[in-house]
Amino acid sequence: MKYLWGIFLILLLVGNVWSAETIGDALKGGKVGGEFKLWYQTSDKEPKDIFAKENSFFDAGVRLSYVSENWHKISLKLSFYAVDDLVAYSNFANKSMIRPNADETATWLGEGYLAYIYQNTLLKIGRQNFKSPLVNSDAWPIFPNNFQGLLLKSRDIPETKVVLGWFFKERRLKNEYFQDFLGDDGVMFIGLANKSIPKTTLVAYYYKADLNGKDYYWQDKNYIGYVDSFYTEAQTKFSLPKEDLNFLLAGQYFFINPQKRGFDTTNAYGIKLGMNYQQKIGFSFAYSSVDNGYFNAAKLSDNGIKTPLYTFTISGDGDIAGRPNTDSFKLSFFIKPFSGLTTTFDYGHYNCDNKWNTAVSNDKVATTTELITKYTGFKDFVIFAALIRSDHHGIGAWKGANDDVLNALRIWIKYSF
């Protein structure tokens, strides 16, 4: 709440410099929107009952957003989030992906920033969502993680977007408060995306992160120091005559480099090939490899849960596909039988090094099979469902009782307004 009052104080001070009536008109002319969302996930972990409340997560949430009109090229955005159990706790779901206490309501101001636009350049100051390869607001739980800091975007260079930023706070999973983003100095980054070559996108990002270990740890509690990371990707698309057959070729490489002696750099690369017919049916193949570095080849944000590697799946993510000394491949097939409905089948195969987990024994192969359906045929609604079978032999978070196979179901419904 102090942060919210701070934003309004800035507006009040600026308004006294120019015209209070003008800033009032900008605020009155703003737009309000948001979403309602229900999110449910369950598994047969322990007890071996997939619908047992001890295995089930449930969150019901609302996001209310306000965006003002531009005033002297300045605008304001506020997004308020609230998540509750709607009496699910102790009835059919005793866990939450967002709320620290599953039987209590969580509320937070996830976005609260001032934006200034000058020609092709945008400056954002405050709390905001952001997307990039290694620092990202991931929306797989009911609501994404949020950041606090400074962000500059420019499109002054033809066919190129340049991004420069510094985030020093993050609201991550299982939390309603913003805390230091990795360390006191947070994460600084610069990136660009270029589309000068027709149907081709080239991406490059550099990140410098402070892992001082004081407020929260990223993957390992023993490392205290700075880490620098570089990510690059090339993606091209082309079609045969009449655009009936569409093809995708993509490649990625990135490293995470601890700037301390005795800690090895993690290098990772991936390739992806895809083809579809009239965007209605298609398949893709992806391969990735992570060498024997110290950290997972995972995102710096949200405690490294996710990875940008092409071979990620819902259950085979930062701690599986991004695991050091792991080679992976992923097969994906999709079909759109009619407008609004997409069904996808994913199979992930991960050849993991067992040195990180003694429970793996001599069996190093982890597999994931997922059937995913998404329907957008109803106006303003999105319905998502996924059946997940993970056989990870004790590696990572998605493991069954006694490191057995884990079967899971995830469903969410969103209404936007």
Query: Taking 80 as the threshold, does the pLDDT of residue 326 lie above it?
Result: yes
275 Cβ contact list (under 8 Å, min separation 6): 245, 246, 247, 248, 282, 283, 284
pTM: 0.89
Is the separation of the CB atoms in 293 and 324 below 8 Å?
Answer: yes
Q: Hey, what are 174's tokens?
A: 């299982």
What is the structure's pLDDT at 25? 72
State the pLDDT confidence band at 218, using cuts at 50, 70 and 90. low
Phi, psi of 129 (to 5 degrees): -95, 150
For residues 254-274, give the mean pLDDT.
Answer: 92
Q: How many residues does the chain have?
A: 417
The pLDDT of 366-375, averaged and rounded, is: 97
CA distance 357 to 359: 5
What number of helices (H) and strands (E) belong to the chain? 2, 19
Tens-place pLDDT, residues 2-12: 554 455 455 44
φ, ψ for residue 21, nearest 5 deg: -65, -40
Residue 331 CA to residue 321 CA, distance in Å, equals: 14
Task: State the pLDDT at residue 213.
Answer: 57
CB 40 within 8 A of CB 56: yes
Residues above pLDDT 90, as percent of the chain: 66
Query: How many other CB atoms are found less than 10 A from the CB of residue 91?
Result: 12
Q: Which helix (H) or strand (E) holds 41?
A: strand 31-43
Amino acid letter, 402:
N
pLDDT category, 359, cuts 50, 70, 90?
A: very low
> Phi/psi zone of residue 92: left (φ > 0), alpha (ψ -120 to 50 degrees), beta?
alpha
Q: Quote the distance between the C-alpha of residue 117 and its chain's center.
A: 26
* Whether pLDDT at 1 is above 60: no
Q: How far apart are the first and last CA of the chain?
A: 25
Query: Which residue in the block uniquely carries the two structure tokens 């089948």?
Result: 345
| Number of CB atoms found within 10 A of residue 222's CB | 8
Token reading at 399: 């493991």
CB 62 within 8 A of CB 38: no
Picking from 177, 231, 192, 176, the residue whose alpha carbon sits closest to that of residue 209 is: 231
Question: Coil, strand or helix: which one is 330?
Answer: strand
Query: Does the structure show a pLDDT above 60 at 216?
Result: no
Region 141-151: mean pLDDT is: 96
User: At residue 277, does pLDDT exceed 80?
Assistant: yes
Residue 304 has pLDDT above 80, yes or no: yes
Cβ–Cβ < 8 Å for 351, 367: no
- Residues 147, 136: Cα–Cα separation, whole Å: 9
pLDDT score for 355: 55
DSSP-derived secondary structure letter, 5? H
Distances (CA, A) of 225 to 218, 231, 260, 291, 323: 12, 20, 7, 21, 21
Coil, strand, or helix at residue 369? Answer: strand
